[in-house]
Amino acid sequence: MEDNLLLDAIERYRNGEMTGEEKTFFEELRKNNAAIDQVVAEHNFFLTELEKMSELTSFKQSLNEVESKLINEGVISHKGLKGKAKISFLWSRYRRTIAVAASIAGLVSIATATIVSTYSEKKNVAAITPLVDNKLHQMEHKINQIENKINVASAAASRVAVKPKFEANFRATGFLADGNGYIITNAHVVKDARNLIVENKKGEQFSANAVYVNKNTDLAILKITDTSFQKLTDLPYTFTKSPTELGEHIFTLGYPREEIVYGEGYLSAKSGYFGDTTSYQVSISVNPGNSGGPVVNKNGEVIGIISGKETNADGVVFAIKSKNIYDALKDVIKKDSIKLPVKNTLKGLDRVQQIKWLEDYVYMIKGN
Amino acid sequence: MNIYEQEKQLLEAFVSNDRIAIERIYRENFPSIQAFIIKNNGYADDAKDIFQEAMIILFQKAKLDSFVLTCQIKTYLYSVCRRLWLKKLQRENRYNHVTDLFKETIAVEDEIEAHEKQNAEMNLMEKALSKIGEPCKGILEAFYIHKKTMPEIAEAFEYTNADNAKTQKYKCLIRLKKIFFSQYKNGE
C-alpha cells in the first residue's frame, strides 16, 4: 500500500494538487531518500510517456475529424482524384507506358484485322460451340481418347500404317528407367498381355514390348517400340540401393484413374508379404492401377515399385525394393545399351516441384 | 501584428489541440502538398498519409519547450512532406527527379529522425497498454488519457465505490509500468 501512496503523491505533485505544506514535505523526502527519488524519477518518466501518447492520441483524433470534415466539403478528394487533376496526374505517371501501349495497340489492331478477315468463315464453328459444351463433360473422356489418337497419328504421320483399334482391358503404372524408352513395371501387369500401350501425362500413346519379365521378383521391363517416341535426356531421379529406414516419408504417382494421381505415406516394414525381404511394406493409399508406380523418398530417389496390397487389411501395401531393379536391368543391359540415371535433380526441391518433374516420366500402361 | 506573430499564435492554438487551428492549417496547406505529391508520382491517398504524418511531426515538435518557429508554417510543412515523400520513394526504389513547387525549403532531417524515434517510444507505450488487457486498459485510459475522475470511473466500470476503483487502477498501473519498462530495457 505504501507504494500506492507514493505513486499517488507523485501524481498529485505533478498535477499541482498538493498544499504548500505537503509539497515541502514531499520535496524534503525526495532529497533525503535516494530510493524514493529513484522511484519518483522513474514514475515521472513513465507519466511523461503516457501523457505524450495521450496527447498524440487526442491530436490524431482531431486530425481525423478535421480530415473527414474536409473530405465532406470536397477540399480533400475522397477516392483517388477526380476530373482534370486525375487525367493530368495519370498522364504524367504513365506517359511512357501510354506511348508504348499506343504503338502496340496499332500493331494489334492491324494484326486483328488481318486475322478477322482471314478467318471470318470460321465464325459458324464458334457460334455452335456453346451448345456442345454441356455434352462435352460426358464426352470428355472419349474426346480425349480421340485426341490422343489424332496426336499419335499426326506424330506418326510419316508412317503409312494406321494403328489398329485398341481396346484395353487393364490399366497399370510404369516409369522410365532410361530415356530411350525402357519402362519399369510389374510382371503381373504384363504377363498375360498380347498388346501393350503406354501413355504419358500429355496423353501421347506409344506401343511397347516386354523385353524382360521375371515372375519371381514381379518385375518387368518394357521397351517403347514406336518411332514417334522422342528420346528423353537425363532422368531427374535415381534408383537407390541403400536400404530405407522405417518411418521415412515416401510418395507415389500412378494411374488408378485416367488421370495421374499422387499419394503419400511412410515406410512401415522392411520386409514384404510373409517376410519377403525383396519388398518393403509401405503405408500409402493405392488402388488398382497403381501397380508398377514408383515409390520415391523425400530426396527424389526411387526406393521401390508398388506391387500389390494385402486384400484383407487396410493400408498394407507392398513395394519391390529398388535393388531388384538393378538386377533386372543388368540382364537387359547385356542385350541393350541402357544407361541408368546417375544424377538426381529432385533433391532439395519441394514436393510440388518434385512431382512436376517426375510426372513426365510416369506412364500409364494399358493392354489386352 | 506581423505575420510571424500571427503564425505563432496559430501554432500555439494548434499545439493545444484546438480544432479551429488544426482545420485552418489543414485547409491552407493540404492542397499544395497534394499537388506536390501527385506531380511526383504519388496518389491522393499518399498525399493524405504524408500530410497527416507531417502534421504530427509539427505537433510534437511545437510541443517542445525549446521550439522556436524559424519559418512559416507553410514552409515547414512543405519541407517535411517533401522529405517524407522522397524517403518513401527511395524506399520503394521509385526515386527519380523531384519537381518542386516552392523554392524555399528548410532542413528537416533531424526532425524526422527525432519523430521516428519518438514514434518507436510511443509504440512501446501502446504495445504495453494493449498487453495488459481489460479492464485495466480501459481504466488506465479513462484516467490518464480521457482525464476522468475516480468516481466517474467507478461508475463506468461498475465498482461499488471510488476507492475500490482506485485500488484496481493502482494494480493496473503497476502492471503497465512493469510491461513498459521491461520492453524499454529490452530495447524493443
- Tell me the shortest Cα–Cα distance from A32 to chain B, in angstroms: 25
Contact A63 B56 (CB under 8 A): yes
**How confident is the model over B127-143, as pLDDT tens digits?**
888 888 878 888 888 88
Q: Give me the pLDDT at residue A128, please.
A: 31
Supply the pLDDT for residue A251.
93
Q: CA angle, A207 as apex, A201 and A211 as ends, to 5°?
A: 110
- What does DSSP say about strands A301-309 and A238-239: parallel, antiparallel, or unpaired? parallel
Residue A266's pLDDT is 92
**Residue A281 to residues A155, A204, A276, A315, B76, Cα–Cα distance (Å):** 41, 33, 10, 10, 77
User: Considering the entire predicted model, what is its pTM?
Assistant: 0.45
Query: Rounded CA gap, A260 and A263, in Å?
Result: 10
Instruction: Encode pLDDT of A338-360 as tens digits.
Output: 777 777 888 888 888 889 888 88
Cβ of B52 and A55 within 8 Å?
A: no
CA distances from B30 to A70, B58, B96 (A): 10, 14, 23
- Report the residue of chain A nearest B172, measured CA to CA: A4
Report CB contact under 8 Å: B31, A51.
Answer: no
What's the pLDDT tens digit per position in A264-321? Answer: 999 998 888 777 888 899 998 888 888 899 999 988 889 999 988 877 777 788 899 8
Q: How many residues can be counted in chain A? A: 368
Which ipTM did the prediction report?
Answer: 0.82
Q: Please determine, for residue B180, whether its predicted confidence score (pLDDT) is greater than 60.
A: yes
Question: Cα(B85)–Cα(B47) distance, rounded to whole angstroms?
Answer: 9
* Yes or no, beta carbons of B118 and A52 under 8 Å apart: yes
Closest CA to A317 of A195, A215, A186, A203: A186
> Between chains, do A52 and B122 touch, taking CB under 8 Å as contact?
yes
For B129, the closest chain A residue by CA position comes to: A50
The number of C-alpha atoms within 13 Å of B160 and in the hemisphere containing its C-beta is 1
Nearest to A70 among B26, B39, B177 (CB): B26
pLDDT of residue A293: 92
Distance, in Å, from the CA atom of B57 to the CA atom of B81, rounded to the nearest integer, reads 10
Does B56 reach chain A within 8 Å, measured CB to CB? yes
What does the pLDDT read at residue A12? Answer: 81
Minimal Cα–Cα distance from B11 to chain A, Å?
13
Q: Is the CB of residue A328 less than 8 Å from the CB of residue A214? A: yes
Query: Would the CB atoms of A62 and B19 count as touching at under 8 Å?
Result: yes
Å from A61 to nearest chain B CA?
A: 10
- What's residue A350's pLDDT? 85
- Residue A362: per-residue pLDDT: 92
**Predicted local distance difference test score (pLDDT) of residue A133:** 35
pLDDT in tens, B64-90: 777 777 788 888 889 889 888 888 888
- The shortest C-alpha distance from A340 to chain B (Å) reads 50
What's A209-244 look like in SS3?
A: EEEEEECCCCEEEEEECCCCCCCCCCCCCEECCCCC
Quick one: which of B106, B128, B120 has its CA closest to B58? B106
Whether residues A85 and B38 touch (CB distance < 8 A) is answered with yes
Which chain B residues are within 8 Å of A95, Cβ to Cβ? Answer: none
pLDDT along chain A (368 residues), means of 10: 73 80 83 82 84 84 86 68 53 64 64 53 36 42 68 56 62 88 88 85 87 86 87 83 86 89 90 83 87 90 87 81 83 72 81 88 88
Chains A–B, number of C-beta pairs less than 8 Å apart: 88
Please indicate whether, in this complex, the C-beta atoms of A66 and B26 are within 8 angstroms of each other.
yes
